[in-house]
Chain A
Amino acid sequence: MLESAIADIGIRLALTRSTLRLSGFNEAAKKKVLSLQEYFVLSAKSIGFIFRRPFYTTDVVQQMDAIGVQSLTIILLTGFFTGMVLALQTSVQLATFGATMYVGRLVTASMIRELGPVLAGLMVAGRVGSGIAAQLGSMRVTEQIDALNTLGTDPIKKLVTPRVLAALIMVPVLTIIGDVAGIVGGNVIASTYLGLPASLYWRTVWEQIASGGFTLRYIPIDFIHGLVKPFVFGGIIVTVACYFGLNTKGGTEGVGISTTRTVVFSSIMILIIDYFITQILLAVL
Chain B
Amino acid sequence: MSEKRPPNQPEANPPEPTEDIVPELYTGERAATEAHRPPTEAQGDERRKLERGPSQKPHPEAAAVVKMEGVHLAFDEPILEDVSFHANEGETVVVVGESGTGKSTILKLLLRLLVPDKGRVLIDGENIVDLSFDEALEVRQKMGMVFQSAALFDSLTVFENVAYPLREHTDLSEDEIEARVREKLEFVDLEPDKVMPQMPAELSGGMRKRVGIARGMANNAKIMLYDEPTSGLDPLTTATITHLIMKLQKELNVTSIVVSHDIRSSFRMGTKIALLAERRIVYFGTPEEMRKQDDEYIRRFLGGY
Contact = CB atoms under 8 A, between A and B. Distances in A.
A148 B152 CA distance: 10
A139 B111 CA distance: 19
Contacts of B151: 142-144, 146-147
A144 B148 contact: no
Nearest to A154: B137
B168 A147 contact: no
Contact of B111 (A150, A153, A154): A150
Interface in A59-74: none
A98 interface: no
Given A144-B153, A146-B151, A152 B168 contact: yes
Contact of B154 (A144, A150, A153): A144
A149 interface: yes
A142 B201 CA distance: 13
Contact of B165 (A54, A139, A146, A151): A151
A115 to B, nearest CB: 34
Given A144-B154, A146-B113, A153 B149 contact: no
A154 B134 CA distance: 8
B147 A152 contact: no
A152 B154 contact: no
B153 A152 contact: no
A149 B165 contact: no
A146 B146 CA distance: 11
B220 interface: no
A147 B108 CA distance: 11
A152 B113 contact: no
A142 B140 contact: no
Interface string B78-111: 0000000000000000000000000000001001
- B: contact size bracket: 20 to 34
Given A143-B148, A147-B145, A147-B147, A153 B153 contact: no
Nearest to B161: A147
A232 to B, nearest CB: 28
A156 to B, nearest CB: 10
Contact of A152 (B138, B152, B215): B138
A152 B149 contact: no
A148 B168 CA distance: 10
Interface in B169-206: 169
A144 B153 CA distance: 6
Contact of A149 (B113, B152, B153): B113
Nearest to A138: B154
A148 B164 CA distance: 9
Contacts of A142: 149, 151, 154
Nearest to A142: B149
A54 B168 CA distance: 9
Nearest to B168: A153
Interface string A239-255: 00000000000000000
B157 interface: no
A142 B150 CA distance: 9
A153 B137 contact: yes
Given A149-B111, A150-B143, A143 B149 contact: yes
Contacts of B140: 149-152
Contacts of A151: 140-141, 145, 164-165, 168, 215
A280 to B, nearest CB: 35
Interface string A10-53: 00000000000000000000000000000000000000000000
Contacts of B169: 152
Interface of B: 108, 111, 113, 133, 137-138, 140-141, 143, 145, 147-149, 151-154, 164-165, 168-169, 215
Given A147-B147, A151-B215, A153-B168, 12 more contacts: A142-B151, A142-B154, A143-B148, A143-B151, A144-B153, A146-B147, A147-B145, A148-B153, A149-B111, A151-B145, A152-B168, A154-B133
Interface of A: 54, 139, 142-144, 146-154
**Which 10 interchain pairs have the tightest Cβ spacing?**
A143-B151, A147-B151, A150-B145, A152-B141, A152-B137, A143-B147, A152-B140, A151-B165, A144-B151, A150-B111
26 contacts: A142-B149, A142-B151, A142-B154, A143-B149, A144-B151, A144-B152, A144-B154, A146-B147, A146-B151, A147-B145, A147-B147, A147-B151, A147-B152, A148-B153, A149-B111, A149-B113, A149-B137, A150-B111, A151-B140, A151-B164, A151-B165, A152-B137, A152-B138, A152-B140, A154-B133, A154-B137
